[in-house]
Amino acid sequence: MKNYINNFTYGRELVKKLIIGAVICYTLALLFRASAAVQVGFMVAGMALFIAAVVVIVKDCRCPHCGKVIFLGVLAVKNCPNCKRNLVTGRKAKKVK
């Protein structure tokens, strides 16, 4: 088991992997046009991975300080939009010089 700084970084890594997996499944679905059964299989798998990513976001991608679910821009955001604390270090966001 890997050591993550907090739930948020753990959830974010998981979401990243699930979304990459979903994109791969959809890409494969587009490539396998010859076989409808294979195509549907990949689309269902991609959908399942996408749903799993949403579940992980709601469950784990919360601000460690105020508990707000970070949904939009979960892979890029650094500071909580609610309490303005850094999601990894917990420090209050500093003003940019």
Residues of this chain that interact with Zn ion (CB under 5 A) are 63, 65-66, 68, 80, 82-83
Give the nearest distance from C-beta 2 to Zn ion in angstroms. Answer: 24
Toward Zn ion, which CB reaches closer, 49 or 80? Answer: 80
56's tokens: 């992980």
- Strand, coil or helix: 74: coil
Toward Zn ion, which CB reaches closer, 74 or 80? Answer: 80
Give the nearest distance from C-beta 14 to Zn ion in angstroms. Answer: 20
Give the nearest distance from C-beta 36 to Zn ion in angstroms. Answer: 46
What sign results for the dihedral spanned by CA atoms 62, 63, 64, 65?
A: negative
Toward Zn ion, which CB reaches closer, 53 or 62? Answer: 62
- Strand, coil or helix: 63: coil
